[in-house]
C-alpha cells in the first residue's frame, strides 16, 4: 500500500470522526415539542352506600304530594291487570283418526306450516245439517257439486272478529273422515291456510 492510499484512508477516517462528533443541528423554528406526558392517576369507583335496616326503601309509596288522606297506594293489580293466557287449541288424534288418515283417499290435513296449535281464541260449533252449514258458511250458492263438512272464519271475521269461528257439519260415513280430522283441517285455516287448500296432504 503506497502513501497516497494511506493518506486518503486517514482523511476519510478523520472526516467520519469529525462528522460523528458534531452536535445535531437545531430544530427548525416551526418544530413543536409536545410536553412530557402526565401519568393519569387511577381513582377507584365509589362504593355503594349501604342502606341501614331501619331506613325506608326507595320505592316505598309516600302518598300524594298534596297530603290528601283519600289517596291510597296504587295496587299492582290495578296498574297491571293479570290477563288469563289463552290456551292453544289443538286436536288430539285418536287411534280411529290415525287409521282414517292412513286409509282414506281424501286428503284433508293442512300443510305442516299451518298444521299446529292455534294460539288465538277458537270457537267450535257443530251443525246438524249440511244445508244449515252452507247457510252459516255463506256457501249456499257455491260448490253445489261438492259435499261441505266444515268451514272456518279466522280471527278478524265479520261475525266474531276476536276469535276464529269454526263450523263442523255432518260427515258422510263413506268419506272415511272423522270429526277430529275435520277439525284439524279447519284449525289450519285458523292459522292462515288459504281457502285454495294449497299443499293439502
Q: Per-residue pLDDT averaged across 104-128, rounded?
A: 94
36-49 pLDDT tens trace? 655 556 667 777 76
Residue of 185, 168, 167, 166 whose CA lies nearest to 104:
185
Query: Other CB atoms closer than 10 Å to residue 151's CB: what's the count?
Result: 21
Express as a percent the part of the chain with pLDDT over 90: 44
The structural domains of the chain, with segments of one domain joined by +, span 105-190
Q: Residue 158: what pLDDT? A: 85
Residue 185: phi, psi to the nearest 5?
-60, -45
Q: Per-residue pLDDT averaged across 60-86, rounded?
A: 55
pLDDT band (50, 70, 90) for residue 4: confident
Q: Residue 10: what pLDDT? A: 86
Amino acid at each position: 500500500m503506497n502513501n497516497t492510499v494511506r493518506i486518503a484512508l486517514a482523511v476519510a477516517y478523520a472526516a467520519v470522526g469529525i462528522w460523528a462528533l458534531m452536535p445535531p443541528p437545531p430544530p427548525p423554528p416551526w418544530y413543536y415539542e409536545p410536553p412530557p406526558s402526565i401519568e393519569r392517576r387511577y381513582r377507584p369507583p365509589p362504593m355503594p352506600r349501604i342502606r341501614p335496616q331501619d331506613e325506608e326503601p326507595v320505592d316505598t309509596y309516600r302518598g300524594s304530594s298534596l297530603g290528601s288522606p283519600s289517596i291510597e297506594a296504587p295496587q299492582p293489580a290495578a296498574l297491571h291487570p293479570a290477563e288469563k293466557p289463552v290456551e292453544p287449541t289443538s286436536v288430539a288424534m285418536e287411534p280411529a283418526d290415525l287409521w282414517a288418515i292412513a286409509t282414506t283417499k281424501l286428503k284433508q290435513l293442512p300443510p305442516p306450516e299451518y298444521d299446529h296449535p292455534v294460539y288465538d281464541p277458537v270457537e267450535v260449533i257443530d251443525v246438524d245439517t249440511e244445508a244449515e252449514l252452507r247457510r252459516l258458511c255463506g256457501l249456499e250458492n257455491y260448490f253445489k257439486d261438492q259435499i261441505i263438512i266444515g268451514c272456518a272464519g279466522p280471527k278478524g271475521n265479520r261475525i266474531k272478529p276476536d276469535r276464529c269461528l269454526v263450523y263442523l257439519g255432518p260427515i258422510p260415513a263413506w268419506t272415511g273422515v272423522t270429526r277430529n280430522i275435520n277439525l284439524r283441517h279447519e284449525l289450519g285455516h285458523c292459522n292462515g291456510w288459504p281457502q285454495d287448500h294449497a299443499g293439502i296432504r
